[in-house]
Structure 1
Amino acid sequence: MKKLLELIGFLALAQGVLGLVHEFTHWHVGLVQRLGFLDGYEVYASAALVVLGCALFAAAESRRPD
């Protein structure tokens, strides 16, 4: 379970950072800007993904090793 939380945390953190990079540099990276229902809220969604990724890493650290 710890490895799964770490993997999902990494994916969320990576997509959040890539979404923020896209918003501030206009590079076409990440998935957040490709989701139509997030139009106008990409920065908030990316920031939420970064926070979620950090929370998942913290949850993985609190678990005992598998």
Structure 2
Amino acid sequence: MRQLLELLGFLALVQGVLGLVHEFTHWHVGLVQRLGFLDGHAVYASVALVVLAFALFAAAEGRGSG
């Protein structure tokens, strides 16, 4: 379970960072910019993904090794 939480946290972190990179550099990377319902809210969604990633990392750490 810990590895799954870490994997999900890593994916959320990568997508959040790529969403912020897209917003500030206009490179066409990441999943957030491809979702139509997030038009105009991509920065908030990207920040939320980064926060979610840290929460998942904390949950994985709390699970311990067992």
What residue number does 2:63 align with?
63
Q: CA deviation at 1:12?
A: 0.3
TM-score norm. by structure 2 comes to 0.97
What residue number does 2:46 align with?
46
Structure 1 gaps, min length 5: none
Q: CA deviation at 1:64?
A: 2.0
Count of aligned pairs between the two proteins: 66
Over aligned residues, Cα RMSD in angstroms?
0.6
Q: Secondary structure at the match of 2:64?
A: coil
TM-score norm. by structure 1 comes to 0.97
Q: CA deviation at 1:20?
A: 0.1
**Hey, which bits of structure 1, 4+ residues long, moved more than 3 A?**
none
Residue correspondence of structure 1 range 1-66 to structure 2 within 5 A: 1-66=1-66
Structure 2 gaps, min length 5: none
